[in-house]
Amino acid sequence: MPALRQGSKAKLSDVSKPPGKNCYNRQPPPLQLPEAMNDIESIRVNLLSYPEATEGTPFGPEVLVYKIAGKMVATLSPEEVPVRMNLKCDPDRALDLRDTHDAIAPGYHMNKRHWNTLTLDGTLNESFIKELIRHSVDCVLASHTKTARDRVQSQLSPLC
């Protein structure tokens, strides 16, 4: 920084700035999602691997809705950071999951007794998420007619 003579006024141009530290041109660091951030595409593939599974956007383009035989089993908000997913759940198990996992909360915009919201921030592992998806499918199938339930269950793979 140049030395100032007594009685002179400092100008902005007299103050040197370290290169790259201009607060006006500074870009925020790129968003770094955890490696275990639960690959959204693998979750989509898993949801669509169930028999009679469909994906739609009845609530607008920002929310993907997954149905099995016409009944909703999951919603996914892939545009949000972190991504959130709603899954149907048995009411007693829903309470236990919320108590034991910080990334599981009562269903956002859903019946909080029967739905949980999972925040996919990397704290829930993929096999656990698949287990919760299967539980959601089982809950939905239990409310189907016997004919529809038997039709879908006869096509279910043990790997889903």
| Tens digits of residue pLDDT in 54-107 | 999 999 999 999 999 999 999 999 888 899 999 999 999 999 999 999 999 998
Q: What would the pLDDT profile of 136-147 be if each residue is shown by its tens digit?
A: 999 999 888 888
> Phi, psi (5° rounding) for residue 54?
-135, 155
Least confident interval from 31-35, 46-50, 116-120, 134-138:
31-35
Two tokens, residue 86: 């709603």
Instruction: Give the strand order in the sheet containing 64-68.
Output: 53-56, 64-68, 71-77, 83-88, 115-120, 104-106
What CATH number has the domain spanning 38-155? Answer: 3.90.1150.30
pLDDT value at position 28?
Answer: 43
pLDDT value at position 160?
Answer: 54
- What pTM was computed for the model? 0.71
Q: Give the containing element (helix H, strand E) for 48.
A: helix 40-48
